[in-house]
Structure 1
């Protein structure tokens, strides 16, 4: 009886060890040719057109890979979606990697959208050549790093919808790194601010790509976090509390407590601390002094972002929508530039949402 009890106890201990250790639940899988699937909640794919490749997929989105004598090869793990990019919420990837390219290669966040079909890259590090060999559309600072934004076009090339022509959107760091957090959604917004709009997101992955090169990489962390879309919060700035300048700009008490802008060059300015890098809506409550069409321009850090329009003497919140602003302090100005002597503008408050 005692012996039976001992063996039962031993069996129970062994089962706890096996079932309690997640690495016993799923063993890593190794790929050498084109394959895709789902493993431990992560989508994975190895794609190549030729050459020698090995990819070992582990738990938690981790993987290692080696390549040689290739033309083009991609190794990646991440998440699949079927959601419009601006409905995903905030997607962040925290990663770390040992990255050893020999020749042309990228360590990047990589994915696709449909309608429009777009291949996109957020390049964190690279090998012998910094992609993509195009003219930068400008820079953006996200997660403490500076990225150049690019758009390129691929003609009759492989895609998730077969061989076709499609655009590529790029954010490429100005300095390399192999670990950190990437707020993917902020890059989507920065591209949209340049007119580079995505559609329905098909996949977002952490990717190692090689092109006519050799190398190896070991992804030791690949943590996705997705939070719901930012709740709508508002910052209200009373115009009479802004700094006034120009030939005639002044405070008023009728038809409300605010300011009057009477001629070209009249402006009101303030500094605003934006808590997040995203698209904002600006609403300027105001009106004209008659039924002629009046306008006031919105500037952020000296760059015109849009125009508020008024017609009539009844106050309303004129909007300027989808203005991308990066997190941090920025100078915000409202300026009269189109006065032709037939109207004036009264401004009550500026609402930022």
Structure 2
């Protein structure tokens, strides 16, 4: 499971290897102007080339209209992605944790996420992943900060120790919900106690097909059991904005592997 530690120290290493640092900085300034408030997190304003290979330990930013995260605590894992939302995560076996993938720098209750995975050779899990945060709520209440997961594929079930909520159907797929609590753990707002919400399909989603995640259905299902998701579009946390990405996670992978696919915004217009 991911141990989150913020990305403010991420650098322009990959961007500067493919384009000039001056051009990259101009793109950074332009992106910050387009997204008022995001300049608080300088790493998030990075604009990478429209085809990028990310290999450093920590990196985040934008490729085209897509935001991405890329984080590992050791080992060898890389993320390649382009402006169409196509991406691939490659990893070597070892004792470390990696999480990364493309999406958006904020969550949207009404967003419909489209995706397709062509390859998955053993990721711990593939999931829609993000955060909600309410700075007005006391930090003593775990509901002030929520880390959420809508699982799609897995070799390890991270929801297995959670409290069951309900079972529901979204876009023809049956999901069950679970909630866990993290006691004083790293988060987008420093070490704190917070909830994790999970939606897990009865069957893993197959490769080689287009799929949809109707996010509003999951928000409602969580709320039906009193699990309210805080604001998913703010820059109030200390370390990161409330992003939403299609993430590939591997931890202590026993062998080398790859997961590849594409993500897009399928919200009806």
- How far apart in 2 are the matches of 1:44 and 1:111? 12
Contact 2:111 2:266 in 1 (8 A): yes
The answer (yes or no) to whether the contact 1:42–1:78 under 8 Å persists in 2 is yes
Structure-2 residue corresponding to 1:195: 226
Aligned partner of 1:166 in structure 2 is: 194
State the secondary structure of the residue aligned to 1:198.
coil
Deviations 1:152-182 (A, max 9, x none): 0112222111222211000011101144111
Report whether the alignment pairs 1:69 with 2:110: no
Query: For residues 194 and 217 of structure 1, what CA distance do their matches in structure 2 show?
Result: 36
- Which of 226, 240, 249 aligns to 1:209? It is 249
SS in 2 for 1:75: strand
Aligned to 2:215: 184
Which residue, out of 102, 126, 130, partners 1:107?
Answer: 126
Q: How high is the TM-score relative to the length of structure 1?
A: 0.52
**1:132 alignment counterpart:** 159
How much has 1:148 moved relative to structure 2?
1.2
Q: Distance in 2 between matches of 1:173 and 1:59?
A: 29
How much has 1:227 moved relative to structure 2?
4.8
3-state SS of the aligned residue for 1:187? helix
The residue matched to 1:153 in structure 2 has which SS? strand
Q: Is the 2:102–2:245 contact (alpha carbons within 8 Å) kept by the matching residues of 1?
A: yes
Aligned position for 1:26: 50
> Are 1:50 and 2:64 an aligned pair?
no
Contact in 2 for aligned 1:107/1:123 (Cα 8 Å): yes
Q: CA deviation at 1:95?
A: 0.7
Q: Which runs of 5+ in 2 are unaligned?
A: 1-48, 135-143, 233-241
Change (3 A) 1:35 1:176: same
In the alignment, the residues of structure 1 paired with residue 129 and residue 154 of structure 2 have an alpha-carbon distance, to the nearest angstrom, of 13
Q: Tell whether 2:112 aligns with 1:92.
A: yes
Distance 1:131 1:199, change over 3 A: same
Q: As a proportion of its length, which structure holds more strand?
A: 1
Aligned mates of 1:70, 1:37 — CA distance in 2: 26
- The CA RMSD over aligned residues, in Å, is 2.0
Give the Cα separation in 2 of the matches to 1:138 and 1:28: 40
Deviation at 1:49, TM superposition (A): 2.1
Structure 1 residue 38 and structure 2 residue 62: aligned?
A: yes
DSSP 3-state at the match of 2:216: helix
Moved over 4 A (4+): none
Q: CA deviation at 1:36?
A: 0.5
Instruction: Render the CA deviation track for 1:36-73: whole Å, top value 9, x for unaligned.
Output: 11111111111122222111122222211122314321
Q: Which runs of 5+ in 1 are unaligned?
A: 1-24, 229-353
Q: 1:58 to 1:70 in 2, by over 3 A?
A: farther
Pick aligned residue for 1:145 from 170, 173, 179 = 173
CA deviations over 1:101-142 (Å, ceiling 9, x no partner)? 16xx01110001111211000001101x22312242221111
| TM-score w.r.t. length of structure 2 | 0.67
Report the alpha carbon displacement of residue 215 of structure 1 after superposing the two structures with TM: 4.7
**C-alpha distance in 2, partners of 1:57/1:220?**
10
